[in-house]
Structure 1
């Protein structure tokens, strides 16, 4: 963050030739202390002035509090330790007032505490040193305010460019002289300036952004990765976060925070305006899905060609997923990003029964990535042309509704047979009624008709195989099947009757 005035530090104060100040000791050993910012310059000859001081001060003294102490090192050491613990950044000793030169014991105590000690000669009034410090602080404050005003003006002008949001972030990065990145609602880094982060930092930062977004509350937070401090600012309303701005900047002063707040407000407004456009896009996509479900891809082809580079080339895979309402923004933004990357390689839109995704037959990797990222259950059709889109959508819905996580393909469902398809509650009710006579007979007579019929059907209605499986005589099996036919009032010698009972057993197992 550039300014037009030197920072008010002890080094800058000592550099004022008109004050004739002289640093006691080796400056190279005190680099960090000399460059610490000074918040004020104060004078006191109290033996313990710390109750009246705040951190970041430079203290001036004539040493009257040391009269009678001679060169007792303990007195000076205790004095300097109190100042250091209070956060005093430097001590100025006025010479030729009480004594000539700086007391050696005081110089030794300051060296031990790494407290910068400087001489203020008799000809330099303390008020001149204090005024110089105040002028430097005022100049720095004015420079910071001027910078903040200029930065906000530059950012406002950047917001008027065609890519207002991207230009705003680039300008913020320039003004802060730091890396700035924008993460969308899905936690994906969509913009960054000026250069990419290293892989480790990017991974850790992405994880933290994901945590912030899942929390769903508006917040500012900070973290340190390696030697770099990062600040995160959420965008959007609580419960409806639109993204996160991340900056490789640690503690910002009031002016810096003001500039960041302005950018966050503008970015939030831009994203809210974008939301209206996104809503219109969503409705358009939904309309095109309905057009495809009518097996009439002409309209969808024309619109998709102009807006998204065309529909995926046939044969295509049609996928269907629930895409929970609470994550629709994150899902949509992720899909929009992937659609931009794969021009004409992905189409998506919401139908009556869920979110529909269309990819080329070779693009199933994207479907797997989606299901894993959002932990969604997804059904995928067999490859199909657009003239059979409705059938493919039915296949995808059927596969999606199968129990189990992740991606389910229709080919796997079909390979398991017709009876593997989840039955309706009505079908289960009929199945229970079909088998009720067998259950009742077993319960009342202590028989095993239901088990025998099930094993008999599973062994292709072979009495001998059934007898071996049950460990009984084949005549026993024959007698039980005859009893079952009477209970069911059905001839199990016919294929239709056997199939009906077999289906009932599968539906109730």
Structure 2
């Protein structure tokens, strides 16, 4: 046979080509096609095929992009060892060897070479044309692409529905975790978990996810205790796994689509994120990558910076890598960015200006028009656990207001206009009556009282009650009488508030204890003390009524 190797083009410089616009095909799926009659001679079968290429060159390296099933009949197979080594060097996925017309069987030397290089070697029977194999691969790719499109489309619809729920951020995280079959967590700048959904991975994986979050969000406090484990504070009780925590295979993405269309982009390692070619020199500002990926065992991790919400990061952990996962996560990133971003615009600018004027001494009635059209309604809300700013903002969005104060255990919201407030899932609300700018302080107190009544009666929402006959009394005269009547207990806020709540709940010891968060015996002791200091019989309905009216004016 003539020596044609001299005419083989010189090896080209390897490059990283774009992957095909379809998921790769597992070799096992191709071997399972009975109509092709393919047989795995040696090598692993857990590889993926991205292309099919036929070549009879003695050195196929210059013509391979990587990921190919290389089909050959061995026309120029002179050095099996070199041939297998060059395929591996080029990134070829497997060799398909046709046993006709040049060879009757797969050469033993090629089998040995592929075995040494752990390169899958497939026997192609004489009745199977190479074009049939290529057509089968393209059909499998098309089927996989169709499954991926359906999966992404269904996930997009589910995420959109979740984003429209009254509590959208937890709903989106839950939907994302369900679609990816893993864990989704929203991380604050200090690395703590604000919201999470799904089954948490091992402690090692959570620590690796915390490191990824710091790659995409350098504002995170690296010195914060537990920052490396996003579930260490908010995720107590989650499953843990001991052992060291090196995270192999880490990579950071720049927001471009992943090469293989799978869970996450593999572009840079975290260590390279600040030293890639063309990056600014050390000590200069650099834009961090928008996403980063890593793997811990079979758990695949990804972290995404949320646009418009400084320092917030979406972390995802999933077992296995299924096509379309990165696209689904990208949809969630867009939705969460919109849901968590502060809504800045002309309205926000006007509110800021109103706040400045108020701090500089302007009267509330003067600045109120810049906040919105009155009248004003104050809403107080609580939920199990202390509400974070994300949950508070979501409640404000559900009620239609950006004026939200999430300080402590109670969220306060100021609503403009005359509107009907409806119960919100997971929240207990107290709602004031509509009020003008001068009466906002009284409306805030009324909302707080309504909230205590809602908590005591275990209803999702309570509204301020109408004043009724009390409005027939002149307020200044009523206030003077109230101060005189309640003077013996005026120096004790605990006694005054206990008496107020106890009277509002018709003398119920248990419900008063629930509303105040104290033991029922404490309530009994305080009420007995009030009766003694006031010198009245609290079993008398007239006395109770007079005290109740008096408490409204102090």
What's the TM-score once normalised by structure 2's chain length?
0.46
Between structures 1 and 2, the one with greater helix share: 1
**Greater Cα radius of gyration, structure 1 or 2:** 1
